[in-house]
């Protein structure tokens, strides 16, 4: 749906090795991370938002996007990220990893194994 809505303005690349097929993330976490990237950045054909979903750290799914912050970006309450963080703490005591540079924003969330 997001690709249809933003056409060429949103480029999503997914590169997750097959060995993680039996893993999952907290429900709706991935959707919340994508919505967070769209909420805070310019998304247009002239300035595409590039989102890459991959495994950077063993056992963590990483969502990275280029930063092109909106001039009048909605203020961040961090509610979504805090929600994801708290749910991981409850499920298995894991932490999310957040990294931000002047060019990119990156969040890594634990991959959970199906028992």
pLDDT tens for each residue of 76-109: 678 889 999 999 999 999 999 999 999 999 999 9
pLDDT at 2: 55
Angle, alpha carbons 34-37-38 (nearest 5°): 90
pLDDT at 6: 63
CA dihedral 95, 96, 101, 103 (to 10 degrees): 170
Closest to 36 measured CA to CA, from 58, 1, 69:
69
Q: Is the pTM of this model over 0.85?
A: yes
* Region 2-113: CATH code: 3.30.565
pLDDT per residue over 7-29, tens digit each? 789 999 999 999 999 999 999 99
CB 46 within 8 A of CB 91: no
Q: Domain residue spans in the chain?
A: 2-113
pLDDT per residue over 23-67, tens digit each? 999 999 999 999 999 999 999 999 999 999 999 888 999 999 999
């Amino acid at each position: 749906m997001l690709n249809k809505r933003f056409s060429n303005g949103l480029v999503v690349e997914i590169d997750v090795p097959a060995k993680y097929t039996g893993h999952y993330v907290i429900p709706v976490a991935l959707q919340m991370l994508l919505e967070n990237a769209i909420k805070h950045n310019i998304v247009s054909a002239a300035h595409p938002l590039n989102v890459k979903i991959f495994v950077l750290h063993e056992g963590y799914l990483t969502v990275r996007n280029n930063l092109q912050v909106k001039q009048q970006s909605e203020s961040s309450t961090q509610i979504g990220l805090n929600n994801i963080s708290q749910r991981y703490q409850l499920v298995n005591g894991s932490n999310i990893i957040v990294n931000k540079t002047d060019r990119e924003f990156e969040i890594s969330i634990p991959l959970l194994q199906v028992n």
